[in-house]
Amino acid sequence: MLILLDQDGVLADFEHAFLDAWRRRHPDIPPVEYEDRKSFHILEDYTPALRDRAEAIYTEPGFIRNLPPVPGAIEAARELLDLGLDVRICSSPLRQYENNVAEKYHWVERHLGRDWTERLILTRDKTLVQGDILVDDRPSIDGAARPNWRHIIYDAPYNRQETGRPRMTWANWRNVLGGELYRSDR
């Protein structure tokens, strides 16, 4: 069983790090709070006048490398591997990739260890990646191919409009993934 885990929003806490950085940088301008987010693309939740400020935060050198882990994510990823599953990190780099690509590797090494950097797959099109399950906070994933993985949505306010797929967090992952593993054994 090959489990693909998205990095930003699933393993790395992009959202709360962004909010903290926004508050430090722009204390006079309230950010869009996490629970009020409506779009997967953070820039779409900000007015056009504030989008450059938002983009400057998450493209800044060090932002991705220094993201904190989502609570429970590191332990769950290691446990999945210990259970004998093949676990890979499948992440899409930003279009402004100058800092992003290397920092994704740095983040994985820092939080999971150097061996896990060999489990990192970076692609703009996740439909081309082989796997059985993809855990991703993006509500809908399209690309050049019909994926062979089953998409499990990592719960976030901006993806709750999607109701036709299983949904999980690191608090309930054993139940959700356990059901999926049982289903695939049939």
* Catalytic annotation, residues: 6, 8
How many Å is the Cα radius of gyration of the chain? 16
Find the helix or strand (DSSP H, E) in which 109 lies: helix 97-112
DSSP result, 43-92 = GGGS-GGGHHHHHHHHTSTTTTTTPPBPTTHHHHHHHHHHTT-EEEEEEP
How is residue 10 annotated by DSSP?
T
Determine contact, residues 168/155, Cβ cutoff 8 Å.
yes
Determine contact, residues 168/150, Cβ cutoff 8 Å.
no
How is residue 29 annotated by DSSP?
S
In Å, how far from its chain's centre is CA 17? Answer: 13
